[in-house]
């Protein structure tokens, strides 16, 4: 089932709030998954108060696809009552390929995410090939400064990844949903060239690239220039996680540092990047993400900035 592309402008382009600033496990050990509707409402009201009309209930906060039908209806009634909508659902560290224990379970879960997106009226889902945080990453102030799980340099695993994403992509295409694959270091889509190769190997029109190059420019190692990455992935871009970092390099001393910034202040020039994407017909939602501090308020600042960059 193919949907016509919407015609959006800076006033109505969907720009969602990320929920990564809200933990899925609360300080008392209870799960957001088990909260009452009133407790969900208290959290989502803060999203509304920050000026958002869209949000992405990333499964690091709430697994909407694993709610019972009655609970999901209650959740969506709340979303509507608050004047919110859900343009997309992101999955986090639910790799259907490389997880040594849960890969098959996650594949089934990702299919449920697609069905749920179609049920609730979302246009996109995001999948990644990155694993759980390592112990070293969990102990770090910024998890990206420690080495994470790598996708194996193995042709059989690569072919399995392509086959499983193709399976998900065909399911999504039947539901009128797009699949956006999140760029993330040390995965098969961890570089611009790798992401383009992978999407072409999958070869399903509904499957594209989530050009979350913020995941890459923050690394304390050499990376490709942001502009070069954008040029390569722009023709394949779909639902887009946007965030930014300042990056400082001292080649003589071999030092590289980064830290999170609002979109307008970091090393990625989103004014230029968005223009390149629009030139290739980009027509998907944005997700504002940020790590550190009052992430929701910074995402709100980023939303305002993004609207100035979109067509009138």
Give the span between the Cα atoms of 92 and 125, in whole angstroms: 11
pLDDT number for residue 85? 98
Topology of the domain comprising 15-309: TIM Barrel (3.20.20)
Q: For 2-28, how does the pLDDT look when each residue is reduced to its tens digit (9 = 90+)?
A: 566 778 999 999 999 999 889 999 999
Give the span between the Cα atoms of 19 and 299, in whole angstroms: 10
pLDDT number for residue 2? 53
Contacts of 264 (CB under 8 A, 6+ apart): 244, 270, 302, 305
Give the span between the Cα atoms of 233 and 210, in whole angstroms: 9
Q: For 77-124, how does the pLDDT look when each residue is reduced to its tens digit (9 = 90+)?
A: 999 999 999 999 999 988 888 877 889 999 999 999 999 999 999 999
Q: Of 15, 246, 292, 12, which is closest to residue 142 (Cα–Cα)?
A: 292
Distances (CA, A) of 27 to 31, 58, 66, 297: 9, 19, 22, 22
Q: For 232-289, how does the pLDDT look when each residue is reduced to its tens digit (9 = 90+)?
A: 999 999 999 999 999 999 999 989 999 999 999 999 999 999 999 999 999 999 999 9
Residue extents of the structural domains in the chain: 15-309
Residue where the block lists tokens 């098959």: 104
SS3 content of the chain, % helix, strand, coil (to 5): 45, 15, 40
Q: What is the 3-state secondary structure (H, E, C) of 245-292?
A: EEEEEECCCCEEEEEEECHHHCCCCHHHHHHHHHHCCCCCCEEECCCC
Give the span between the Cα atoms of 237 and 122, in whole angstroms: 17
- Work out the angle between the directed axes of helices 192-202 and 155-175 (0-180°, nearest 10): 60
Whether residue 106 contacts residue 98, with contact meaning beta carbons closer than 8 Å, is answered with: no
In this structure, what DSSP letter does residue 78 have?
A: H
Give the span between the Cα atoms of 148 and 76, in whole angstroms: 35
Whether residue 125 contacts residue 179, with contact meaning beta carbons closer than 8 Å, is answered with: yes
Helices (DSSP H) in 82-191: which residue ranges? Answer: 103-120, 135-139, 155-175
Q: For 162-209, how does the pLDDT look when each residue is reduced to its tens digit (9 = 90+)?
A: 999 999 999 999 999 999 999 999 999 999 999 999 999 999 999 999
Beta bridge partners of 5: none
């Amino acid at each position: 089932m193919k949907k016509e592309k919407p015609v959006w402008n800076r006033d109505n382009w969907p720009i969602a709030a990320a929920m990564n600033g809200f933990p899925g496990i609360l300080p008392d050990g209870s799960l957001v998954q088990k909260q009452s509707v009133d407790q969900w409402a208290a959290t989502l009201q803060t999203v509304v108060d920050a000026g958002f009309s869209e949000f992405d209930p990333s499964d690091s906060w709430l697994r909407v696809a694993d709610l019972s039908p009655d609970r999901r209806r209650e959740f969506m009634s709340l979303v509507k009552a608050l004047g919110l909508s859900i343009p997309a659902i992101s999955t986090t560290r639910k790799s259907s390929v490389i997880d040594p224990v849960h890969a098959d379970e996650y594949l089934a879960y990702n299919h449920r995410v697609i069905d749920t997106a179609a049920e609730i009226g979302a246009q996109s889902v995001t999948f990644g090939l990155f694993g759980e945080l390592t112990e070293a990453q969990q102990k770090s102030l910024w998890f990206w400064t420690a080495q994470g799980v790598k996708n194996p340099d193995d042709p059989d695993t690569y072919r399995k990844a392509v086959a499983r994403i193709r399976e998900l992509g065909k399911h999504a295409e039947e539901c009128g949903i797009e699949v956006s694959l999140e760029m993330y270091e040390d995965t098969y889509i961890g570089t611009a060239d790798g992401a383009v190769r992978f999407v072409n190997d999958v070869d399903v029109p509904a499957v594209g690239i989530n050009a979350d190059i913020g995941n890459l420019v923050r690394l304390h190692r050499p990376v490709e220039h942001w502009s070069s990455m954008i040029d390569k992935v722009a023709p394949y871009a779909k639902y887009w996680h946007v965030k930014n970092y300042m990056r400082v390099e001292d080649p003589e001393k071999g030092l590289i540092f980064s830290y999170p910034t609002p979109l307008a202040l970091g090393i990625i020039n989103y004014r230029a990047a968005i223009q390149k994407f629009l030139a290739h017909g980009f027509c998907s939602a944005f997700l504002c993400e940020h790590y550190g501090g009052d992430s929701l308020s910074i995402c709100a600042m980023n939303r305002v900035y993004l609207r100035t960059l979109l067509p009138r």
